[in-house]
Amino acid sequence: MQQIYLNHWFRGYNRLMKYISDITHLKEKDQIIIRERIRILKFFDQFGETATKEAFGYCRSTIFLWKKTIEQAGGRLSSLRSLSKAPKTRSPRVVQFEHKEFIKEYRHLHPGVSKETIYPELMEYCHSNGLPMVSESTIGRMIKELKDKGKLPKHYKLSFYARTGRLIVRRPKKTKKLRRKEYQPSQIGDLAQVDAIEIFTSGVRRYILTAIDIYGKFAFAYAYKSLSSASARDFMEKLISVAPFTISHIQTDNGKEFHKFFREYVSHQKIIHFYNYPNCPKMNPFIENFNGIIQRQFIDWHYQLIRDDIGGFNIKLMDYLLWYNTKKQHSAIGKIPPLRYYVGSIINQLNLPNNLIAKKSNMLWTSANP
């Protein structure tokens, strides 16, 4: 097959392609500036210095500078783009060793404080020691530099060693968290979502841990005076004892109550624990929906009881959960209670006769009134 080279047939083809490839990779803003300056150069060559200055406001020295820039760049038009106007030589930052040491020690004593908090303390320190003061922005840059050098860890815990009196920095161990991703339950007990509700009434805090099986809608809840991993472990023990099925997977957020003792107990029970991604409550839609239901139907009506008598509150809460699991109809499972749905699933697995399955009477379908 014969090949035709356009650069032999069209005069100026190579120059045109070089021009196009030289400026097309630039940003749109730079391309506009380059085209405008090329137009000014053509106008200067055609009408002269005086007309160019009156039309565009550029003097002769600026035009010659652009031409020299193109010549030094080997004819590349991309050299006409607007360059950074930042100074090449900057005045050195007036920061002394005492400033850095003060900021480093202050951030270790008060982890995570901002430059606005450090500024007045550093000002007092500089005045008392005859040191020059630095601005807030300089303090912020110093904090960033110390972090980049590893002298200010982002996450750490300070502990006091009693025998020697030394201050020790302990970095928490990072544990890899298992995410749910594409896992979908196929039967009752495959996945239960667990969460916590915080109640604040009349200056008293109470916490209600909740759980729901997302396949069969069986739910459980229990109130506690404090929210800790020990409380979450106790809740998990109660959930396993009252649930009529075996739980194989659970899903929680990243709260502190779902670590340490809770995680150890779940691992001992050989239950797979899924964590949500941080700040992503939409990954727990079923338990969030249940939290809203129990809040509207029960908690809002028993604020005084949970504040004064948490034991009595839990007794009434069990009565509510008994009604929720045995009487309340759920549209997601065919408008029947969760326990009835669970019993029906067992009967289906055992292939029992249909006459043993409880059904609604046909008399309920129509009204007996004339």
Verify that 158 and 235 share a domain, yes or no. Answer: no
Verify that 217 and 157 share a domain, yes or no. Answer: no
Verify that 337 and 251 share a domain, yes or no. Answer: yes
Verify that 208 and 320 share a domain, yes or no. Answer: yes
Q: Which residues pair with 167 in a beta bridge?
A: 160
Number of H helices, E strands in the chain: 14, 7
Look at residue 275 and tell me if it is in a domain: yes
Look at residue 229 and tell me if it is in a domain: yes
Look at residue 278 and tell me if it is in a domain: yes
- pLDDT at position 80 is 80
**Global pTM exceeds 0.85:** no
Verify that 156 and 61 share a domain, yes or no. Answer: no
Verify that 251 and 328 share a domain, yes or no. Answer: yes
- Contact at 8 Å (CB) between 209 and 194? yes
More confident residue, 90 or 22: 90
User: Tokens 């060793």 sit at which residue?
Assistant: 97
Look at residue 10 and tell me if it is in a domain: no
- 170, 200, 230 - which closes a domain: 170
- pLDDT at position 361 is 38
Task: Give the Å distances, CA to CA, from 115 to 120, 140, 227.
Answer: 9, 5, 33
Tell me the residue range of the domain where 24 lies: 17-80
- pLDDT at position 15 is 60
Verify that 230 and 337 share a domain, yes or no. Answer: yes
Q: Which residues neighbour 334 within 8 Å (Cβ) at sequence distance 6 or greater? A: 341
How high does pLDDT run on average in the chain?
A: 81
Verify that 151 and 276 share a domain, yes or no. Answer: no
d(CA 281, CA 284): 6
Q: Is the pLDDT assigned to residue 146 strictly greater than 70?
A: yes
Verify that 258 and 342 share a domain, yes or no. Answer: yes
- pLDDT at position 312 is 94
Highest mean pLDDT among 94-103, 152-161, 324-333: 324-333
pLDDT digits (tens, 9 = 90+) for 347-361: 877 765 555 444 443
- pLDDT at position 230 is 94
Look at residue 6 and tell me if it is in a domain: no
Verify that 60 and 104 share a domain, yes or no. Answer: no
Number of domains in the chain: 3
Verify that 197 and 303 share a domain, yes or no. Answer: yes
pLDDT digits (tens, 9 = 90+) for 254-268: 998 999 899 999 999
